[in-house]
Amino acid sequence: KNQVEQSPQSLIILEGKNCTLQCNYTVSPFSNLRWYKQDTGRGPVSLTIMTFSENTKSNGRYTATLDADTKQSSLHITASQLSDSASYICVVSVRNYGGSQGNLIFGKGTKLSVKP
């Protein structure tokens, strides 16, 4: 069964500190992995996409890594800000040889709270 597990479930950090969120997946055949940010009560927004051949990708203070061998990804947030308080969702896409979107497997998300 295709699954995406995220840890920790929730995290509280002080403003200015760094943190790392984890995503482990058992999805096959793998197509890509996305990290989404969901502000409370809002729709998720894509932060970054990782394909099989990519190890690291940055988007401002967000840096995602992917280890396709161990099927693990991480999202590192540097110098956190109050606006980083949100849920971060890992979504893995299953490759569909029919050429369409493919199945999307969602993790349950990590709820990050950044305190002043």
Residue 70 touching other proteins (CB under 8 A)? no
Residue 32 touching other proteins (CB under 8 A)? yes
Tell which one of 12, 45, 79, 82 touches other proteins (CB under 8 A): 45
Please identify, using beta-carbon distances, which residue of 25 and 109 lies nearer to other proteins: 109
83: helix, strand or coil: helix
CB neighbour list of residue 76: distance below 8 Å, 6 or more residues apart: 18, 19, 20, 21, 62, 63, 64, 65
Tell which one of 1, 60, 99, 116 touches other proteins (CB under 8 A): 99
105, 106, 39, 35: which is closest to 64 by C-alpha?
35
Here the tokens at position 28 are: 């096959």
Q: How far is the CB of 79 from other proteins (least distance, A)?
A: 26
List residues near other proteins by CB under 8 A.
31-32, 34, 36, 41-46, 49, 89, 91, 93, 98-104, 106-109
